[in-house]
Structure formats: structure tokens, C-alpha cells
Amino acid sequence: MRSPAVLSALAAATALTVLAAAPATSQSFDTQAPFAFLKDTNSDLILFERGADEPMPPASMAKMMTVLVAFDQIDKGKMSLKDTCQVRPDTWRAWSNQGSTMFLKVNEVVSVSDLLHGIVTASGNDASVVLAECIAGTVDAFAGAMNAMGEQIGLTGSHFTTANGWPDEGEYVTARDLARIAEVTIEDHPKLYEQFYTTKEFTHGETMSGEPITQPNRNPIFGRVRGADGLKTGHTEAAGYGFTGSAERDGRRLVMVVAGLPSMSARRDESTRFLEWGFNAFEGAQLQPGKVLAQAAVYNGSKDTISLTAKDGAMLTLPKAIVSDVNARIVYKSPLPAPLQAGQEVGKLHVKAGDMPEQVIPLVAGEAVEEAGFFTRAINGFKSLIG
């Protein structure tokens, strides 16, 4: 149900201008990618999805989960970037010439930091396996840690069996889950994310003539999308060309996934267009902290009403071409029982713009309300008895 009072307060709280215009829709992006997903992480709004819950081979995008497990170990103090791992002879024989490589040598001792650069920047299959074995002893054991992490962060359609995404029938992911891995990596490990995912090139190993080998980051949106800072490409014959990426611009962060594309150039172009569309077709609006959106009745309190405000940092994402087709409603248990603390969550603001998914924003008490004294409670009880 549209609430004019709430809409008016909402417009004031976000400094949005109500325009009479044709609505931009959440599904108006045209892409050749069979799997695509785009989310504004500030508001948790999904801007676009196609085949987002269909299982697909992860290819090298599985390495994001390998990195996330490592980041988690590091930030919990269970492992250090300075720790070292040794390249086992069997591991070297299996992976020295298999796809993307960090050019590790047999029995080489390499730091965790260098292995992470080798995974993120060079997409090294060898680096992924060496790190997995170093952390868990075997790849199978590490895959168990990957799946445990997936359950912990709420993945619903993915299963990992490798540390590097090498083709395996038992391994699959969804675009929605890949975006979730990216989002958790960025939000839970910001310093490590910046240290490793924003690196533009990495030097390790040497040629037959002894020249150092420098590999550029394969991120296709670096230098093409303003604010781009991660994450990971992937490609196999079965999976096609895919990319999970993110960019932050003017305080808004978008996370995207495209997969199943026919070529490297298609991946680059679709990723660029997808993110630019997300930034250009939509805008973020932060609700002003403390701006009163409504008054709610209070039961057995030292005062009869309390102001409802948006939780600090609450964001909305709306199409730039609309705001005429916006519906807003407030949901809370009425009356609110005292005592109430300032900042205590007491309700939800539901906002629906055009055909976009509903956005739900927590509402908090704008001020504290103490429980009423004995006589006030007695009077309230008497009033309830007589109707």
C-alpha cells in the first residue's frame, strides 16, 4: 500500500526528486551471457539476474573460494603471509604444465603472500594446489574447508572439489554464489582484498634464459571501468569465458558475474557494459540518520509515541529514470511495548520502485522511552478493561 506521508518523509530523508518518467526496469539490460548477476551491495538490491541459480562449472573463478579460505585463516591468526610452503614433487609434476601457472619449481619454498599473488594475479593452478596442500594437507581436505566456508556464508547451489577449478564433474557453482563469495571477501577482509586483488602485475619465476617472468592481472575491467578493483576470471571449454568482478564508485559498490561467454573479448566487453549500466541506470540514496519517517504508538511507556528513523548507513537503490512509481510502507508491531532504547530496531521500511525487487530497511527508535511508572500502568490497564 502506498503511504503518501511515508513517501514524503522518504523523499526528504533521501533528497530524491519525484519525477514523472517512464520507469527503468531491473531487467532492461541486454546481454549474450547465459549466466549473469549484478548486485548493489550498499542496498543489497539485485539489479539484474539471469540463470543466477543454475549450476555451472566454476573454472578459475573457484580460486576466489581458495583465496577466501586463506584470507579467513590469516585474519584469524592461524596463518601468516610470511609463512612458507614447499612445492611437493608430485604436485609439481601434476601442475607445472597445466593451464595457467605461477611457474613454481619442484621443491621450491614460497611464501603464502607470493602464492596468493600467484593465484589472484596469475591465476596459477599450481599456486592454488600448493596453497591448498599447505593449509589442509591434501586438496580433498581443503575442498572440505571450501565447502564448509560456503555453508558458513550462505551458498546454496555450489560444491567444490578442487582448489583451482580444474574441470571436475562433481564441482559446480551458481552466479549468485560467486557474487556472494566476492561480497564476503570484500566486506570481511578489506585490507587483504585491497592488497591482493588490486595488484596489476606479479613477477615470479624465470625463463629458460634466466629472465624474470612478469604476468599482468587478467582482470578485464582494469583500466576500463572507473573504480574497478577485483576479482577473478575463469575459462574452460565446458564453462566458456566468465568473470566475477567488482567496482566502487562514488560510495556505491557493485558486484557482478557473467559466465558462458564465447570469447575473451566478449567477456571483457560484457563485463564492462554490465557494470557501466549498473552505475549509470541506477543511483544510490542514503537515508539521513535521525530523519523521522513516522511516529509509532508506545504501550506502557513514559510517553505515548516514539519516532521511527532509518538505521545508520541505510541505503536505497533506485532507477534514475523514475521515482514516480515508488510505494513505501512501514511495518511494526503496534503498539511498541516500553521500555525502548534509542537505536533499537523496532520495524521495517518496505520500498518498492517500479518492477524492481522490494527493498527492506531496518527502522530504529529515534529516542529512548522508559517504562511507565506504577500509576500510569494501572491507568493503562484500567483503560484496556473498559475498552
Q: What residues are annotated to the active site? A: 60, 63, 123
311 is in an annotated binding site: no
C-alpha–C-alpha distance, residues 368 and 260, integer Å: 53
> CB within 8 A of 58, min separation 6: which ones?
158, 160, 165, 171, 172, 173, 178, 234, 239
Beta-bridge partners for 319: 282
Q: Residue 218: what are its φ and ψ, rounded to 5°?
A: -85, 5
| 234-250: burial string, b at 16+ Cβ within 10 Å, e else | bbbeebbbbbbbbbbbe
**Side-chain half-sphere CA neighbours of 133 within 13 A:** 15
C-alpha–C-alpha distance, residues 302 and 149, integer Å: 47
Q: Tell me the CA distances in angstroms from 183 to 6, 209, 375, one per residue in order.
A: 31, 42, 52
C-alpha–C-alpha distance, residues 179 and 181, integer Å: 5
330 touches 6 (CB < 8 A) = yes
Provide the grid cell at 245.
568482478
Pick out the residues of the known binding site.
Answer: 232
Pick out the residues of the known binding site for substrate.
Answer: 232
